[in-house]
Amino acid sequence: MDQLILHNDSIVPLADTRLSPGQSGLLSGLGVFTTLRVYRGQPFQFHHHWQRMSRDAGRLGVNLSDFTEATVRDAIVRLASANQRVEGMGRVWFVRNDGGLWSDGIKRRPTDLLVFTRELVPWPESHRLLLQENAVFSAGVLSGAKMLSWAQNALLLERARAQGFDDALLLNERGELAECTSANIFVVGGGAVLTPPLSSGCLPGVTREVLFEIACAAGVELREGNLTPDDLSVADEVFISSTTREVAAVSFVSPQWTYAAPGAITQKLETAFRRYVNEALERP
């Protein structure tokens, strides 16, 4: 992690930053976050990230009235510049300050903003996924929200890696494929690509949104559809998408599914996505 962070309005050394242990967001996970890519010192697709954070903040009662999309985006750019982070990744947190039986009662602004940057995490050329049952509750009140309460996803990723996998593939309570711990899942069969609908409990990923935008022009049929582990048995290819991994091939899903990786359609969408990124960076 880079040694300068942004805390509300100020860029400060990480070691000097102080948060109150009485913050309800810190103690209870009341807050939202997003991870974004930094290309050429700029946060990629920040509008989509902001829209999702705003939507989830409303669901969690997190007040963002002190912030605007433009000011937060500018804060990310300033921090990336201060850390000389031209290429890499960023993390934006909004932490709720008030509410809850154990809050400290000190009057503060309703919400704290924290922004970190760092180098890009290295990922393998193809992923090995560990199937995990009953890991997503699609009917939950906060299903699909990207919030500070991220313990389950973090734990499942840790367990998967301890067993030699790169990520966990999460099933919902109906036994349907939902997502990975921090990526969306796509299954290729019969020349078309299917990805679980948001009703599966999956996160509405920003890269997922971009793929829906560019797939048709790339000559790929991409649509939502309910998927089960049986669909893995007849799939031609499997891939995942995320902000940090972009489009990434899957070579194995436990306990028995193996795929040539990357497949032709995975490569086609990966190329289209890279073209989309480059064209976006050239626009004012």
> What pLDDT does 284 receive?
72
- What sign does the CA torsion over 145, 147, 149, 150 have? positive
Tens-place pLDDT, residues 219-272 = 999 999 999 999 999 999 999 999 999 999 999 999 999 999 999 999 999 999
> What pLDDT does 28 receive?
87
Nearest Cα to 84, choosing from 181, 193, 199, 2?
2
> What pLDDT does 98 receive?
82
CB 13 within 8 A of CB 7: no
How does residue 20 score in pLDDT terms, banded at 50, 70 and 90?
A: confident
CB 178 within 8 A of CB 136: yes
Nearest Cα to 229, choosing from 189, 188, 257?
257
> What pLDDT does 25 receive?
86
Question: Domain segments of the chain: what residues?
Answer: 4-118, 126-282
Task: Give the Cα separation of 138 and 199 in Å (integer).
Answer: 6
> What pLDDT does 136 receive?
98
How would you label 75-87 residue by residue, b for 16+ Cβ within 10 Å and e otherwise? bbbebbeebebee
Q: What is the mean pLDDT of the chain?
A: 95
Report residue 86 CA to chain centroid gap.
20
Query: Nearest 5°: phi and psi at 151?
Result: -60, -45
**Residue 127 β-bridge partners:** 250
Q: What angle do CA 51, 209, 251 make, to 5 degrees?
A: 135
> What pLDDT does 162 receive?
98
Task: Give the Cα separation of 266 and 238 in Å (integer).
Answer: 8
> What number is the average pLDDT over the span 58-87?
97
Question: How far, CA to CA in Å, does 163 sit from each of 121, 145, 156, 192, 268?
Answer: 20, 28, 11, 32, 31
Tens-place pLDDT, residues 81-113 = 999 999 999 999 999 988 777 777 778 889 999
> What pLDDT does 260 receive?
92
**Is the preceding omega at residue 255 within 30 degrees of 0, hence cis?**
yes
How does residue 127 score in pLDDT terms, banded at 50, 70 and 90?
A: very high
> What number is the average pLDDT over the span 174-196?
97
In the numeric block, which tokens belong to residue 174? 């109906």
- Give the CATH number of domain 126-282: 3.20.10.10
CATH topology for 4-118?
D-amino Acid Aminotransferase; Chain A, domain 1 (3.30.470)
Query: Nearest 5°: phi and psi at 7?
Result: -120, 105
> What pLDDT does 24 receive?
81
Number of Cβ atoms within 10 Å of the Cβ of 247:
22
pTM listed for this prediction: 0.94
